[in-house]
């Protein structure tokens, strides 16, 4: 496996097109991991408190249309 320093050096040798492809791939992987973490947090009930707070604020009229 490559070290981080080796990866960084290899990235610096990429063409502009290759760099753009790598950047898109990294963003896609990051978004996928974020989605997975969010779904796990939802399944574990970690967002229940926030949802209850938002619903209470809405019912109390502490919201405005945007």
Interior angle at CA 12, CA 8 and CA 15, nearest 5: 135
Q: What is the pLDDT of residues 32-60, one digit of tens each?
A: 999 999 999 999 999 999 999 999 999 99
Query: Would you state the pLDDT for residue 7?
Result: 97
Query: Would you state the pLDDT for residue 63?
Result: 86
Structural domain that includes position 14:
4-59
**Average pLDDT taken over every residue of the chain:** 95
- Is 37 among the domain residues? yes
pLDDT interval class at 65 (50, 70, 90): confident
- Is 27 among the domain residues? yes
Average pLDDT over residues 15-19: 98
Please tell me the distance from the alpha carbon of residue 66 to that of residue 59, in angstroms, as a whole number: 17
- Is 25 among the domain residues? yes
- Is 45 among the domain residues? yes
- Is 64 among the domain residues? no
* DSSP track, the chain: ---HHHHHHHHHTS-HHHHHHHHHHHHHHHHHHHHHHHHHHHHTTTTHHHHHHHHHHHHTT-----
Number of domains in the chain: 1
- Is 29 among the domain residues? yes
């Amino acid at each position: 496996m490559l070290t981080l320093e080796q990866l960084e050096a290899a990235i610096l040798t990429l063409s502009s097109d290759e760099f753009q492809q790598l950047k898109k791939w990294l963003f896609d992987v990051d978004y996928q991991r974020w989605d997975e973490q969010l779904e796990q947090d939802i399944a574990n009930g970690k967002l229940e408190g926030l949802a209850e707070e938002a619903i209470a604020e809405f019912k109390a009229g502490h919201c405005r249309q945007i």
